[in-house]
C-alpha cells in the first residue's frame, strides 16, 4: 500500500513559477520495489513514493524545535508501535552499502529519513530519533549503520536551520515587486542561504545525493521565471528560449519529465487556440501527433468526439429541463421528469458530471 503521508519538499521557486507563469513543476517517478534485507550494493527498504524536488513553505519540520515530552521508548526494529499516520504504509527510501559495508549515500536515504520525520506532531523528536536509529541498526551492518545515523543527525540539524531561513524570509517569498514581478534577487539570496546551510552540515557527495535533483529543478524553474519576466523578449522569443534551455539539459529522467510537461503545456495552449479559431479535426490531430505521438493524438481525437457528443446532449438536456420547469408548477413532478430525462440522455458516470458541468458552463 503506498505511503499515506510523505513530507513534501516544495521550493519557493516552484511557487514562483505557479504564480508567474503557471508552469507545473515536474514530478519524477520511481518504480516500486519491495522491502528487502540489506544486500551488498542493493537497497534495504521500499521505494513506494516519489520525492518532490521542492521546499515546503508551510515548514513541516518546525516540530523539530519542540522538546521531548514522551518516553523515549526503546525500539528493536524501529517499526514497533508506529504512529497512526504511518500504520498501513511501507517504509519509503533505501539504505545502500558497498562491498566493504560502507554506506553509499543516495536520495533514497533522505526519503527514508523523511518517512519517519513525517510523524512529527504524533511523536516527539527524541522518539523519532530513537526509532530511526533502531531501524537503521536493525537493517544495516557496521560501519554503514553508524555512518547513516551520523548523517541523519546532521539532517535534523539542517532542517532546523532551514526552518529559521524560511522564517526569516516570511511572506516576502510570495510578494511581487512594484512592477508585478517576483524578486529574483530575493530568490537568489534565499537559495544562497540554503546552500550555505547544506555546506555546513554535509560533504559534497551527500549534498549531491540528497539535493542534486532539487537543484536541477530549481535551476530550470529560475530560468523559466527569468525568461518569462524579460520584457525585452516577445512571446515567440520566450518560447524559443525555454526550448533552448531544455535542449541543453543533460539527458536523464529529469529532462524527460520536463520535456513531457513542456509538451503537455504546449498541447493544452495550442489546442485551446486552435479550437477557438475553428480548426478542423485533422489539423488538431496533426498538431497533437507532432507533440505527443500518434497513439496519444488518436486517443485525444476520440475524446474530442465524445466531448462533442456530450455537449450536444447537454444542450438538449438544458432546453428540455427548462421547458419542464416552466410548464410544471408541481416541484416533485418536475423533479421526477427531470430525473427521467437525465436517465434517457446520460449514463451513470455522465449524470454525476451534470451539476458541475452546468456550473462550469455558466461561468464561461
Gap between the Cα atoms of 216 and 200, Å rounded: 21
Which cell is 213 given?
535533483
**pLDDT score recorded for residue 364:** 63
Which cell is 338 given?
427531470
pLDDT digits (tens, 9 = 90+) for 8-67: 333 444 434 333 433 333 333 333 333 333 433 434 433 343 333 333 333 444 545 433
DSSP letters along 132-169, please?
Answer: HHHHHHHH--TTHHHHHHHHHHHHHHHHHHHHHHHHHH
Residue 52 burial by Cβ neighbours in a 10 Å radius (0-12, 13-18, 19+): buried
Q: Give the residue carrying C-alpha cell 437525465.
A: 342
Residue 320 lies in a domain: yes
C-alpha dihedral (31, 34, 35, 36), degrees to nearest 10:
-100
Q: Are 73 and 198 part of one and the same domain?
A: yes
Last residue of a domain, one of 247, 265, 281: 247
Q: Are 88 and 212 part of one and the same domain?
A: yes
pLDDT digits (tens, 9 = 90+) for 206-249: 999 999 998 888 888 888 888 888 889 998 888 889 888 888 88
Residue 7 lies in a domain: no
Q: Are 144 and 265 part of one and the same domain?
A: no
Residue 2 lies in a domain: no
Residue 3 lies in a domain: no
Q: Are 213 and 330 part of one and the same domain?
A: no
Cα–Cα distances (Å) from 106 to 44, 46, 217, 345, in that order, read 12, 14, 17, 55
**pLDDT score recorded for residue 22:** 35
Q: Are 266 and 238 part of one and the same domain?
A: no
Q: Are 212 and 68 part of one and the same domain?
A: yes
**pLDDT score recorded for residue 202:** 96
Q: Are 191 and 258 part of one and the same domain?
A: no
Q: Are 294 and 327 part of one and the same domain?
A: yes
**pLDDT score recorded for residue 175:** 58
Cα four-point dihedral sign 318, 319, 321, 325 = positive
Residue 1 lies in a domain: no
Last residue of a domain, one of 231, 247, 263: 247
**pLDDT score recorded for residue 179:** 60
Which cell is 242 given?
525555454
Long-range CB pairs of 242-249 (<8 Å, 24+ gap) are: 245/220, 246/220, 249/216, 249/220
Last residue of a domain, one of 192, 226, 247: 247
Residue 5 lies in a domain: no
- Name the stretches of the chain with pLDDT < 50: 1-61, 63, 65-72
**pLDDT score recorded for residue 228:** 86
**pLDDT score recorded for residue 173:** 53
Range of the domain at 121: 12-247
Structural domains of the chain, count: 2
Q: Are 329 and 312 part of one and the same domain?
A: yes
Q: Are 313 and 334 part of one and the same domain?
A: yes
DSSP letters along 32-44, please?
Answer: --------TTS--
Tally of CB atoms within 10 A around 77: 11
Gap between the Cα atoms of 73 and 8, Å rounded: 27
Gap between the Cα atoms of 328 and 308, Å rounded: 30
Q: Are 241 and 262 part of one and the same domain?
A: no
Q: Are 109 and 240 part of one and the same domain?
A: yes
Tally of CB atoms within 10 A around 262: 19
Residue 217 lies in a domain: yes
Amino acid at each position: 500500500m503506498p505511503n499515506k503521508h510523505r513530507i513534501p519538499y516544495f521550493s519557493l521557486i516552484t511557487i514562483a513559477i505557479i504564480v508567474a507563469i503557471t508552469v507545473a513543476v515536474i514530478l519524477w517517478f520511481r518504480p516500486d520495489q519491495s522491502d528487502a534485507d540489506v544486500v551488498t550494493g542493493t537497497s534495504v527498504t521500499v521505494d513506494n513514493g516519489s520525492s518532490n524536488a521542492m521546499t515546503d513553505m508551510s515548514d513541516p519540520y518546525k516540530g523539530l524545535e519542540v522538546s521531548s515530552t514522551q518516553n523515549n521508548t526503546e525500539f528493536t526494529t524501529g517499526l514497533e508501535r508506529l504512529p497512526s499516520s504511518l500504520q498501513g504504509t511501507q517504509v519509503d527510501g533505501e539504505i545502500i552499502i558497498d562491498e566493504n559495508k560502507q554506506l553509499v549515500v543516495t536520495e533514497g536515504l533522505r526519503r527514508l529519513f523523511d518517512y519517519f520525520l513525517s510523524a512529527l506532531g504524533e511523536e516527539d523528536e527524541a522518539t523519532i530519533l530513537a526509532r530511526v536509529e533502531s531501524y537503521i541498526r536493525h537493517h544495516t551492518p557496521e560501519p554503514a549503520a553508524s555512518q547513516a545515523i551520523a548523517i541523519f543527525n546532521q539532517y535534523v540539524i539542517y532542517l532546523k536551520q532551514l526552518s529559521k531561513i524560511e522564517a526569516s524570509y516570511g511572506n516576502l517569498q510570495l510578494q511581487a515587486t512594484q512592477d508585478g514581478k517576483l524578486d529574483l534577487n530575493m530568490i537568489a539570496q534565499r537559495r544562497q542561504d540554503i546552500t550555505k546551510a547544506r555546506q555546513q552540515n554535509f560533504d559534497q557527495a551527500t549534498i549531491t545525493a540528497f539535493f542534486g535533483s532539487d537543484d536541477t529543478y530549481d535551476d530550470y524553474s529560475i530560468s523559466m521565471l527569468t525568461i518569462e519576466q524579460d520584457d525585452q523578449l516577445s512571446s515567440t522569443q520566450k518560447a524559443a528560449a525555454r526550448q533552448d534551455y531544455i535542449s541543453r539539459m543533460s539527458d536523464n529522467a529529469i529532462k524527460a519529465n520536463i520535456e513531457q510537461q513542456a509538451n503537455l503545456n504546449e498541447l493544452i495552449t495550442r489546442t485551446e487556440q486552435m479550437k477557438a479559431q475553428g480548426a478542423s479535426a485533422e489539423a488538431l490531430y496533426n498538431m497533437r501527433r507532432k507533440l505527443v505521438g500518434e497513439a496519444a493524438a488518436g486517443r485525444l481525437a476520440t475524446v474530442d468526439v465524445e466531448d462533442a457528443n456530450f455537449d450536444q446532449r447537454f444542450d438538449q438536456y438544458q432546453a428540455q429541463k427548462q421547458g419542464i420547469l416552466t410548464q410544471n408548477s408541481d416541484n416533485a413532478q418536475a423533479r421526477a421528469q427531470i430525473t427521467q430525462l437525465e436517465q434517457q440522455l446520460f449514463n451513470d458516470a455522465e449524470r454525476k458530471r451534470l451539476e458541475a458541468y452546468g456550473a462550469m458552463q455558466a461561468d464561461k
